[in-house]
Chains A and B, each alone.
Chain A
Amino acid sequence: MVIVGLIASVLGIALGLVIDWFPAQGSEQAKKIDTFWDVLIICSVPVFVLVTGVVLYSARYFRMRPGEENLDGPPIHGNTRLEVVWTAIPAIMLMALCTYAYLVLHDIEKAPAAGNERQIQVNGQQFTWTFDYNEGGKKFSSAQLYVPEGESVKFNVKTRDVLHDFWVPAWRMKIDAVPGITTNYRVTPIKLGTYPVVCAELCGLGHAFMRQTAHVLPKAQYAAWVKKMSAPAAGGAAAGGAGGAAPAVDAKALFQQGETQTGATACGGCHKLADAGTAGGVGPELDQVLKGKDAAFIKESILNPNAEIAAGFDKGIMPDTYSKLLTGPEVDALVKYLEEVAAK
């Protein structure tokens, strides 16, 4: 039985280590947490195998046979030595794990030796994130998160309304955005690419849809992005790594990517629109609800979204702050674009 147990434990541990549990390992912190998880698996599987093994063994070998209906087991009331052993061993194991956990925690939270770490302020609001940058004295904000690869970043997390939780699964770290205080954590992204930003604390109707994207860029590309963002606004620069500042408002790009300087989120993050190729999923599909509507209706719906709600949707999900976040020309361009698309 001991041998069977050992084999089962080894198989269980192997399975536990082979399964690809985590999303991409995108930060220094993720490496340490993933290793910690492997240690937990190695400690846990034998405990489970032991309990299950004894249960199965007992069920098989101590099961009542025909003719034993009136038989009782031996009256064993206890065994002090055994009880001390199964109190002490788990206690020692748990204390060892706690110590290891403390060391890992210390590692993933400590400030980088070099000092001078980049700070980004993260603002949560129902139901979107905005990111405030301060790069060498130049302040700007973005609806998407951009960070350079290989440098430690400290996120200072705030909220404008209820609790949110700033989580990038690929970086493993998360912290609540709490009204009244600023919380923080730091990560060192080590992998280029785009990763989901997720809200992990229930924040109301649109909680499930409060997702954005984190972009990890090579240092040079990041510097270019910062330069573009901190340049004086040239009549509504389109956000995103691609495309330069256009003199006129590119309404389609605005729809797809949002307005980066004031933090107005992209329409396409929530609304499906075939022409812009956005997937939506949160708000009404604009191809349907805008059919046959005039410009006045579209403008009202952008600036004052709760005035009229499409059937099957709820008031209060779409931010009612676009009148402040978008400039007049931007709104007009959007209305024009949507009207044209709706008329098709």
Chain B
Amino acid sequence: MFVLPFAFLIGLGCFDYWFYWAAGKPTRAEDHSSHGATSWKSYFHPNTDHKVIGIQYTVHSFFFLFVGGLMAMLMRAELAQPGRQFVDANTFNGLFSVHASILIFLFIIPVFAGLANFVLPLMIGAPDMAFPRLNALSFWLLPCAGVLMLASFFAPGGSFASGWTAYAPLSTTAPLGQMFFTIAVQFAGASSIATALNFLVTIITMRAPGMSFFRMPLLAWANFSTSLLVVIATPFIAASQFFVLLDYALGFHFFDADKGGDVLMYQHVFWFYSHPAVYIMMLPGFGIVSEVLAVKARKPIFGYRMMAFSLLAIVVLGFTVWAHHMFVSGMQSWIRIPMMVTTAIIAVPTGIKIFSWLATLWRGVIRLDTPMLFALGFLTMFTCGGISGVMLAMIPLDIHVSDTYFIVAHIHYVLFGGSLFTIFAGVYYWFPKMTGRMYDEKLGKLHFWTTFVFFNATFAPMHIIGVNGMPRRVADYADQFATWNLVISLASFCLGLSSLIFAYNMVASWRGGARAVANPWRALTLEWQVSSPPPVFNFDQVPTVVGGPYEYGVPGAVHGIFGPAAPAEAKATPAGTHAQPPTE
């Protein structure tokens, strides 16, 4: 399982640079022959252009969104009525485990990396990411992880069925399918660590002249914070899964209580990654929403500096709250109190962001098109998820509702109503830039309203059945929950259908949509100052940043200028060789 993906990567040519180097052949550090896409086929080959990689990431992630969504449909079909109808208990446990793993590790985390991959270098005035080849490798690690997770269904004993949390000792004693998860996570994790390093170096060293940290768009800030989280936290999940691998394959006793193992240790290590991971899945969305709201409300972001600082506050606090997932785990009881307090405190910077966005809307000139609708939908739905999050932080209530459908409702309000809504906002917002075409506005709005309505119809009732006593991760349930489950299942099927509107809109508009102008939204940030889609090396002339990114309403304000500042170019490019605009 380890060898095959590596063979696949070598076959693609991901490491050929090293082979050249090892063989003493001349390597071509400034080789840009593989930049840019010439036709749709280019997207199926390794490419070092951040724009191609961004689109590869995004499309690849959406493929897995649909796969993961289909699994959700199967689960809802099974849960529509009490008793067993479509799948047996083992398959059901496999379905929800793979559903969560795929949507977390192969959709939400990478799709944000993909959007940022495309947009971020353009936003900060860089010709590419800092390490283009590493960037390509990070992408091609993902299909390895994805194929492994899906292939687990063909393993003897079925796919991994211990949830995406893979709690030991259930995971260490599970059939072979569990190993597909354990190893796939290593590939997905390596991919996100590499991308995060790439973002960090790019943001720190490759900003255009004049782009100080406090002139960066908030999307850059958001990805900067996210990348810090990824680099610090992701090794912990790698570790937790290596423990499982060693226990399973080599008979170590990390989690075997009879032989001196410690079961709770797994949960501590796991959540030390997986709680920050919640913010890894949310902060980039905060960035997207900030971009969309400022442009669509035609106002500067309210409290820009506090917005940036609150991101960093979330990064720091995010590492101090992990054990709130373990209030009923049987850990030392005193740890619960500080964890409850830090968890409550983390709502403060989040609240600052929500209120600042609301103030940004105030007295703006609001364009209610599709990206804006999704951004506003995010504001309200994420507030719901945040409120239920604060409720869950309160230990006495958490004791009752943890591991129930209340949790299922909460995470879907945060990850679907939160993350996915921002992803839709971002995809619609940058669609013209990425493809050079306009999407269909009517279908976009239809997509929003169907998604919004059926999202609530699906997940809001889960709060009720959760508090009422329905545990999560069950293939069957007591008859008293039958009515609500039927309602939820029907709503979820409609929700699934609504995503077809999106798929059709994207495909049809990409093929035959109206040509997009360079700056259809009259935005100030740099990515909109170049053609749609952008030139192969992004900027024909290095931009010089002269003002903030959101100076809407200030007469004559510009964010960056092109051209005349050329003399400043040589000294002001801080990244040395990396950032030199290729001019051959």
A94 touches B304 (CB 8 A): no
Q: Does A37 contact B (CB under 8 A)?
A: yes
A54-70 residues with Cβ-Cβ distance < 8 A to B are 54-55, 58-59, 62-64, 68, 70
Bound Cα distance A194, B344 (Å)? 37
Chain B residues lying within 8 Å of A90, measured Cβ to Cβ, are: 347-348, 351
Q: Which of B20-28, B194-202, B422-430, B467-475 contacts A (4 or more CB under 8 A)?
A: B467-475
Q: Does A203 contact B (CB under 8 A)?
A: yes
A205-B89 contact, Cβ under 8 Å, with A36-B397, A78-B304: yes
A94 touches B552 (CB 8 A): no
Q: Does B306 contact A (CB under 8 A)?
A: yes
Which of A48, A72, A83, A180 has a CB less than 8 Å from the CB of B306?
A83
A40-B469 contact, Cβ under 8 Å, with A58-B366, A77-B302: no
B300 touches A176 (CB 8 A): no
B366 touches A63 (CB 8 A): yes
Interface string of B346-358 (1 = CB under 8 A from A): 0110011011101
B330 touches A178 (CB 8 A): yes
Which of A48, A73, A101, A102 has a CB less than 8 Å from the CB of B387?
A48
Chain A residues lying within 8 Å of B328, measured Cβ to Cβ, are: 165, 174-176, 200
Bound Cα distance A172, B479 (Å)? 20
B393-415 residues with Cβ-Cβ distance < 8 A to A are 394-397, 399-400, 402-404
Q: Which of B44-52, B109-117, B167-175, B502-510 contacts A (4 or more CB under 8 A)?
A: B167-175
Q: Does A47 contact B (CB under 8 A)?
A: yes
A165-B403 contact, Cβ under 8 Å, with A54-B362, A62-B363, A64-B366: yes
State how many angstroms separate the Cβ of A22 from the closest Cβ of chain B: 6
A95 touches B344 (CB 8 A): yes
B262 touches A174 (CB 8 A): no
Q: Does B384 contact A (CB under 8 A)?
A: yes
Chain B residues lying within 8 Å of A174, measured Cβ to Cβ, are: 328, 399-400, 402-403
A157-212 residues with Cβ-Cβ distance < 8 A to B are 157, 161-163, 165, 167, 169-170, 172-181, 183, 185, 196, 198-209, 211
Majority secondary structure of chain A interface residues (helix, strand, loop or mixed):
mixed
Bound Cα distance A150, B196 (Å)? 57
State how many angstroms separate the Cβ of A299 from the closest Cβ of chain B: 26
Q: Does B553 contact A (CB under 8 A)?
A: yes
A71-B399 contact, Cβ under 8 Å, with A22-B468, A202-B93: no
Chain B residues lying within 8 Å of A11, measured Cβ to Cβ, are: none
Which of B84, B347, B351, B365 has a CB less than 8 Å from the CB of A71?
B365
A64-B263 contact, Cβ under 8 Å, with A94-B390, A200-B471: no
Q: Does B453 contact A (CB under 8 A)?
A: no
A284-326 residues with Cβ-Cβ distance < 8 A to B are 312-314, 317
A12-64 residues with Cβ-Cβ distance < 8 A to B are 19, 21-23, 32-33, 36-37, 40, 44, 47-48, 51-52, 54-55, 58-59, 62-64
A101-B403 contact, Cβ under 8 Å, with A78-B303, A163-B170, A202-B473: no
B162 touches A33 (CB 8 A): no
B154-183 residues with Cβ-Cβ distance < 8 A to A are 161-163, 167, 169-170, 173
Chain B residues lying within 8 Å of A179, measured Cβ to Cβ, are: 169, 256-258, 263
A162 touches B170 (CB 8 A): yes
Q: Does A248 contact B (CB under 8 A)?
A: no
Which of A54, A167, A205 has a CB less than 8 Å from the CB of B358?
A54
Q: Does A277 contact B (CB under 8 A)?
A: no
Q: Does A116 contact B (CB under 8 A)?
A: no
B383 touches A52 (CB 8 A): yes
Q: Does B83 contact A (CB under 8 A)?
A: yes
Chain A residues lying within 8 Å of B522, measured Cβ to Cβ, are: 70
Q: What band does the interface of chain A fall in when counting residues whose beta carbon is under 8 Å from B?
A: 35 or more
| Nearest neighbor of B83 in chain A, beta-carbon distance | A281
| Nearest neighbor of A34 in chain B, beta-carbon distance | B400
Q: Does A108 contact B (CB under 8 A)?
A: yes
A37 touches B361 (CB 8 A): no
A178 touches B302 (CB 8 A): no
Chain A residues lying within 8 Å of B366, measured Cβ to Cβ, are: 58-59, 62-64
Bound Cα distance A54, B379 (Å)? 10
Q: Does B236 contact A (CB under 8 A)?
A: no
B73-103 residues with Cβ-Cβ distance < 8 A to A are 82-84, 88-90, 92-93
B464 touches A55 (CB 8 A): no
B464 touches A94 (CB 8 A): no
Chain A residues lying within 8 Å of B396, measured Cβ to Cβ, are: 32-33, 36, 101, 104-105, 108
Chain B residues lying within 8 Å of A115, measured Cβ to Cβ, are: none
A55 touches B361 (CB 8 A): yes
B397 touches A33 (CB 8 A): yes
Bound Cα distance A333, B359 (Å)? 76
Which of A78, A97, A180, A313 has a CB less than 8 Å from the CB of B390?
A97
B354 touches A51 (CB 8 A): yes
B394 touches A97 (CB 8 A): yes
| Nearest neighbor of B297 in chain A, beta-carbon distance | A73
| Nearest neighbor of A71 in chain B, beta-carbon distance | B365
B361 touches A98 (CB 8 A): no
A163-B379 contact, Cβ under 8 Å, with A36-B396, A83-B352: no
Q: Does B298 contact A (CB under 8 A)?
A: yes
What are 15 pairs between A and B in contact, CB < 8 Å?
A: A21-B464, A36-B394, A36-B396, A40-B397, A48-B383, A58-B366, A78-B303, A90-B348, A105-B396, A162-B167, A167-B471, A175-B399, A179-B263, A202-B163, A205-B90
Known pairs A37-B467, A196-B469, A199-B471 / 10 extra A-B pairs, C-beta < 8 Å: A72-B365, A90-B348, A101-B397, A163-B263, A169-B468, A175-B330, A179-B257, A181-B264, A201-B167, A202-B163
